[in-house]
Amino acid sequence: MKRRRRPFPALASGIIGIVLLALITYLVFGGRGPFKGSPFVLKAMFTTQIQVHIPSDVRMAGVDVGKIVSIERLPNAGSSQVAVVTMNINDNGLPIHADATVQLKPKLFLEGNFYADLRPGTPQAPVVSSGFLMPLAQTSSTVQIDRVLAALTASPRSELQTLLQGIGSALQAPPSPGEDATQDPIVQGLTGAQSLNLALKYSTAAFRDSAIVNQALLGIQPHDLEKVVQGNQKLLQGLADSGQQLPGFVTTFNATLAALANRQQALSDTIAALPPWLKATNDAIGPLEASYVPTQQLARALLPGVQQLGPTIKLGIPWLQQSALLFSKPELGNLLNDLTPAVQNTGQSLNDTRLLLNQADLFARCFSHNVVPTGNELLQDPPNTTGLPLYQEVFQGSVGLASSAQNFDANGRYTRALAGGGATRIATSTLPTGGPLFGNAVNPPLGTRPAYPGKAPPLRRDVPCYQNQAPNLNRVATGGTP
């Protein structure tokens, strides 16, 4: 027979459930379980009054790495108020080096409270262990407004009010005629406050130019600013190593300033002449600033060439060495011996070329003065006038002659001439070639054109061709019948 199990009490079940729920809530919200090791404890000393809630965040580069768990004031700190802040650091905030620093900073407006900004130090410093106490030299905190107000007791507050009232009266007071005479025309007749408000008109351009200057001070290439700092360090080191030269320079500089002080009136006149010069300089800044962009583009375009100048010179040195050997007396002398005949022949060739160019010039002038106008002339021979220039008729006659000389059969190329005519017998006069020519014509000829004058047309050979008169074919006379 089985024994009946007694039911578990409801009260005990409720207590166990509450304990488990509390344990789970503790672990979920960051509590350490029984199997976790001890947290890494970091302590820091602060000399200022701090109002930090417990717990507050410990952040490293904006990431939460721990919590502030306690703040304890040291009782034997003397007149200064020294407190020790204890922080538990998570694993994502380790390791921490001996030169680490921490600063208490306010959170954003919506967050409220403060947080500890922890910087873990440099890798060259040794790593510290849990419980390390950071000295005062490695801690700092922001100044809170309540501490500023607490420092202002009744007497300083009254003096501060008097100071502010005096500044306000000075800014609102109109200038006297004597003060106004030495001012720039743009602010004459204005109070100090009005002048300061007017200065804001030029602040935009001033801030922009300052930003451009600050950007330029960073340099063009990476590490330019670092090189400037290193150069200044070397300069200051050189000044430190100069011995008595630097004190002598200071003494001489003091004498120079004393001389300037003795010329106070002349210096004042020079300063009074500066505003027009500054105005002219300000007017020139606009065009000068506009020229910066092409100048910067030119500098960027020249930079690759300047970078390649060194390798180019390095590659050119062997060429120069070989050129020196080539132009030496043995090499250059032999080369000149080989080139002397060619140079002499070149001179003769240049003379012949000059004569050829002269003849070509005479030929071109003859062609343009005589041949071309004659070829462009239209022969007026009605009713046989073609209306074409002479050079086209010549080409067409050549084409007709070529067509008449084509192959007709296996006997080869030849021109067939057919004798024809009628009852009219034609005979020419005696020709210079030796006698007349005879032929038969169908109709009696009207005349001959051109009429043969009995001699060849005049041709002067004692003058260049282009100086002879160009022929006029339409002025040719018609002769009688043969």
pLDDT in tens, 372-382: 888 888 888 77
At residue 222, the 3 state secondary structure works out as coil
288: CB partners within 8 A, 6+ apart? none
51-65 in b/e form (b: 16+ CB < 10 A) is ebeeebbbbbeeeeb
- Per-residue confidence in pLDDT tens, the chain, 482 aa: 445 555 556 666 667 777 777 777 655 555 555 555 578 999 998 876 667 788 889 998 888 899 999 888 877 655 567 889 999 999 888 899 999 999 988 876 555 678 899 999 998 999 999 989 999 889 987 766 666 666 667 777 788 888 888 888 888 888 888 877 888 888 888 888 888 888 887 788 888 888 888 888 777 787 777 788 888 888 888 877 777 787 888 888 888 888 888 888 888 888 888 888 888 888 887 777 777 788 888 888 888 888 888 888 888 888 888 888 777 777 776 777 777 777 778 878 888 888 888 888 988 988 888 888 888 888 887 777 888 888 888 888 777 666 665 655 555 555 555 556 677 888 877 777 777 888 888 888 877 777 777 777 777 778 888 888 888 877 777 777 76
Q: For residue 1, what pLDDT is reported?
A: 45
Two structure tokens written together for 5: 């199990």
Two structure tokens written together for 393: 């008729």
Q: For residue 5, what pLDDT is reported?
A: 53
How far apart CA 298 and CA 306 sit, in angstroms, is 12
| Residues present in the chain in total | 482
187: CB partners within 8 A, 6+ apart? 194, 195, 198
Two structure tokens written together for 93: 């905030």
For 216, how many CA atoms within 13 A lie in the half-sphere containing its CB? 8
CB-based contact 140:154 (threshold 8 Å): no
For 33, how many CA atoms within 13 A lie in the half-sphere containing its CB? 7
How far apart CA 134 and CA 87 sit, in angstroms, is 11
Q: 10 Å Cβ neighbour count for 193? A: 14
How far apart CA 291 and CA 231 sit, in angstroms, is 30
Q: 10 Å Cβ neighbour count for 40? A: 21
Question: Among all chains, which residue has been given the structure tokens 């030849």?
Answer: 414
Provide the terminal-to-terminal Cα distance of the chain, rounded to the nearest Å.
174
CB-based contact 85:143 (threshold 8 Å): no
DSSP 398-424: HHHHHHHTSB-STT-B---------SE
Q: For residue 128, what pLDDT is reported?
A: 92
Nearest alpha-carbon partner for 370 in 473, 475, 452: 473
How far apart CA 392 and CA 408 sit, in angstroms, is 27
Alpha helices in 273-328 (DSSP H): 274-326
Question: Among all chains, which residue has been given the structure tokens 């919506």?
Answer: 110
Nearest-5° angle of CA 197, CA 198, CA 199? 90
Strand order in the sheet with 114-119: 132-134, 40-46, 83-89, 63-73, 56-60, 114-119, 101-106, 139-141
Q: For residue 58, what pLDDT is reported?
A: 92
Two structure tokens written together for 163: 């100071």
Two structure tokens written together for 45: 């000393």
CB-based contact 89:131 (threshold 8 Å): no
pLDDT in tens, 311-347: 888 888 888 888 887 777 777 767 777 777 777 788 7
**Phi/psi of residue 407, nearest 5 degrees:** -70, 130
